[in-house]
Structure formats: C-alpha cells, structure tokens
C-alpha cells in the first residue's frame, strides 16, 4: 500500500483517492470561469467534496492545448485568495497546487497546500525542485512533450510507452539526487499525445506500476474521450467512467476528475469486487 506524507500525517492511498479539480482560471477547456472568484472556488470545492472527492487540486493557469502563458503575478492573484479560503473552510482536506513555478509553489506551501502537481517535470522552472526538496512534500511528476502552446501541434514518438518509461526513470534519478523521494507518476494524458498515444499509455498502466511509485491519472473530459465519439468535453461522463474503472483495475492510486460522484461509486464497487467471498 502507498502512503502520502502530508505534513504531520501519513495519508493512505488505498482505497484509491479522488482528486477533485478546482480551476481558478477564466479559460480552462471545460470549466473556465466557474471558480474564478473566492465564492466560486468555495462552491466548487464544497460540491466536489460532497460528491465524493477526497482531495482537491487548485490551479490558476490553464494548460489546455494552445493556452497562453500567464504572468507570475496573475497566477498568484488568482490562486492565493482561493487557496486561503479553501484551506480555512476545509482544514483537513489534502490540497495540491497545480503549478510549474517555484515561487508559486513556495508561497502555496506556506499558505497550506500539501503537495505540488507539476505538468512540466521540472523543465519550465529550474527553481521548482529546490522548493519541493526544501519543504519535503509529495511531488507529482507528469510527462509532457513540448509546452501547452506547442504540445498538440504534431506529437511524435517512436514508441510512446518506452519513451515515457525512460522519462520517468531519468527524472526519478534526478529527483533522488536532489533529495526528493516522495514522487507520484502521471503519464500526462493529452499533453503532447495523439488519441492513439493516450490509449497506448492507458494500456501500459500496469507496466508503469513496476516503477514502484503511486500513479496519478487525469483523463476527465479530455479529447481522447470525446473526439472519437463525436461528442464534447461535458458529454462523455459515461465513457470516462468506463476508462476510470479500467484505470482502477490497473492499479492507479489517484484519479484527477471534474465529476467525483460516479468515481466514488466505482471505488466502492471496486472494494466489493476485490474482496474475498
């Protein structure tokens, strides 16, 4: 069983945990603007927790394909009021902050965030890993090809599974050299991948488990669901639920989602499914 070390406690990742998404942005691909104010962020957080989320992930920069860069000051101005309010309202709920900037991570951790969710694998800001090492918090290492501005222009791999595997191995070694041991792995569904690449990575989840780290997966409302079905981000909840079941059976520890309720039911059914008669 995996655990997260969250400040003064060990937090078990069995049963698998549901990470609810709070996008404090005006332009995220499916819910931009819903939680842009403090009141909106609190409503969103309360709804996610009521529907079954165990943890919350707050982000103030959209990383959808083609999203523009956001200045540091703007990211902080969006994030900090929401983070402070959510931390006060839900003092025991684990909170992650979705950022690739060291300064944002530092301030967020001082304001009560428990761990850092980094889409860049430390590539966009060389100060981020130093912050994570200093605060000794869990760190989500995600794979990305390119940047949000370029990643979907022409994603190309010789062998996507092998290349993501090698990326994880190299990054884990580099993190270990910096004293960062508590690392979760995210294959980065939709971040510099075609639909075919994404499904190859989903099929390879059991292989990534062999790296001995908890897996975090985010596929909620992404194009690997709605594009093949001719639908839209909010029209594929049933399809997402089917893939979430497969991910749970493959050993994923944390699922990052917009809609926790179906997943809460899946986690409960998984416990029954896997229990001995």
CATH of residue 197's domain is 3.20.20.20
Q: Is position 201 within any domain? A: yes
Q: Is position 266 within any domain? A: no
Task: State residue 126's pLDDT score.
Answer: 94
Q: Is position 202 within any domain? A: yes
Q: Give whole-number Cα distances, 256 to 48, 57, 77, 110, 276, in Å.
A: 11, 8, 24, 23, 28
Q: Is position 25 within any domain? A: yes
C-alpha to C-alpha distance for 198 and 203, rounded to whole angstroms: 9
The string of pLDDT tens digits covering residues 240-267 is: 999 999 999 999 999 999 999 999 999 9
The string of pLDDT tens digits covering residues 22-76 is: 999 885 555 445 677 999 999 999 999 999 999 999 999 988 877 788 999 999 9
Q: Give whole-number Cα distances, 182 to 18, 58, 158, in Å.
A: 19, 20, 30
pTM: 0.94
Residue 151: pLDDT band (50, 70, 90) is confident
Please choose, from the candidates 180, 242, 189, 241, the residue with its C-alpha nearest in 3D space to the C-alpha of residue 213: 180
Task: State residue 7's pLDDT score.
Answer: 87
Q: Is position 6 within any domain? A: no
| Average pLDDT in the chain | 93
For residue 92, the enclosing domain spans: 17-259
Q: Is position 167 within any domain? A: yes
**Mean pLDDT value across residues 83-90:** 98
The string of pLDDT tens digits covering residues 163-197 is: 999 999 999 999 999 999 999 999 999 999 999 99
Catalytic residues: 222, 256
For the chain, what is the domain count?
1
Q: Is position 33 within any domain? A: yes
């Amino acid at each position: 069983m995996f655990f997260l070390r969250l400040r003064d406690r060990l937090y078990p990742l069995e049963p698998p945990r549901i990470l609810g998404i709070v996008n404090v942005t005006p332009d995220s691909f499916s819910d931009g603007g819903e939680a842009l104010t403090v009141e909106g962020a609190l409503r969103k957080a309360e709804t996610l927790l009521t529907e079954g989320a165990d943890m919350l992930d707050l982000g103030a920069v959209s990383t959808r394909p083609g999203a523009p860069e956001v200045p540091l000051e703007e990211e902080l101005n969006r994030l900090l009021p929401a983070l402070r309010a959510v931390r006060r309202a839900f003092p025991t709920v684990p909170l992650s902050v979705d950022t690739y900037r060291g300064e944002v991570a530092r301030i967020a951790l001082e304001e009560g965030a428990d761990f850092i969710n980094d889409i860049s694998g430390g590539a966009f800001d060389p100060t981020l890993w130093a912050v994570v090492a200093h605060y000794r918090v869990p760190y989500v290492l995600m794979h990305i090809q390119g940047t949000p501005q370029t990643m979907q222009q022409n994603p190309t791999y010789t062998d996507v599974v092998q290349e993501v595997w090698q990326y994880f191995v190299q990054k884990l070694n580099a993190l270990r050299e910096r004293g960062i041991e508590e690392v979760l792995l995210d294959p980065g569904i939709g971040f510099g991948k075609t639909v075919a690449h994404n499904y190859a990575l989903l099929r390879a989840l059991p292989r990534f488990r062999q790296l001995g780290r908890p897996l975090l997966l985010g596929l909620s409302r992404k194009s690997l669901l709605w594009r093949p079905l001719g639908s839209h981000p909010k029209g594929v909840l049933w399809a997402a639920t089917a893939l979430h079941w497969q991910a749970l059976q493959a050993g994923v520890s944390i699922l990052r989602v917009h809609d926790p309720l179906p997943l809460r039911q899946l986690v409960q059914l998984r416990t029954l499914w896997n229990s001995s008669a």
